[in-house]
Amino acid sequence: MRLLLIEDDRMIGESVRKGLRQDGFTVDWVQDGRSGETALLEGVHDLLLLDLGLPGKEGIEVLKTLRKKGNMIPVLILTARDALADRVGGLSAGADDYLIKPFDFEELAARIHAILRRKSGRTETLMRHGPVTLDPASRHVTLNGNPVNLSAREFALLEALLDRPGTVLSVPQLEEKIYGWNEEVGSNAVEVHIHALRKKLGADLIRNVRGVGYVIHKVS
């Protein structure tokens, strides 16, 4: 899953980005509201982590503009302890949740997973597909109950496909899911990862739609 972080505090920004990357998220980070809006135009992020006190354009204004344009990306607000009015204002402006600084990193990750789960309409924490399960929080994948070792990119690809069963995702769309800014995408990278996933999880799970992309079909 690919996240956008808008946070002007360098220390918080660095540590959140580092921690979330270790947790397997793809994270892009900008430090002011306007740059955040520009980044959101790409439409590639699954969730926005939004600080409220920002230079250029306040977080709450960024959020209001987003929602006014009909952009329904999930938003998790990061805010200071004493700003009750900000938290209420954020939620009524269309944020999905908020977290008070300083926050515990595990709580941040847990809330992100919960929001993403609600967004995709899943009621259980595990993603399931036939004999395959994927746990976004613990990053465990199993096949017929047996653990399967995936690389970080393989995991991200599988998660992107399982999150939208029945939807064909093109190679550029999949690249956008698993690579952030300034990360070099090797040629045929997606194909190489798909090949590895098929070897580990069976040839039938991920289907190629010639000339269009890849899909995991819904289990009927």
Residues near Ca ion (CB under 5 A) are 8, 51, 53
Answer positive or negative: Cα dihedral of 70, 73, 74, 76: negative
CA distance 8 to 116: 24
Quote the Cα angle for 127-156-32, to 5°: 115
Minimum CB distance to Ca ion, residue 31 (Å): 9
Judged by beta carbon, residue 6 or residue 161, the one nearer Ca ion is: 6
| Half-sphere exposure in the Cβ direction for 153 (13 Å, CA) | 18
Minimum CB distance to Ca ion, residue 11 (Å): 11
Minimum CB distance to Ca ion, residue 116 (Å): 24
Judged by beta carbon, residue 8 or residue 135, the one nearer Ca ion is: 8
Judged by beta carbon, residue 64 or residue 217, the one nearer Ca ion is: 64
Question: Checking phi first, is residue 94 left (phi over 0); if not, alpha (psi -120 to 50) or beta?
Answer: left
Judged by beta carbon, residue 16 or residue 206, the one nearer Ca ion is: 16
Specify the 3-state DSSP secondary structure of 58. coil
Minimum CB distance to Ca ion, residue 55 (Å): 8
Judged by beta carbon, residue 53 or residue 130, the one nearer Ca ion is: 53
Minimum CB distance to Ca ion, residue 101 (Å): 9
Residue nearest to Ca ion (CB): 53
CA distance 94 to 76: 10
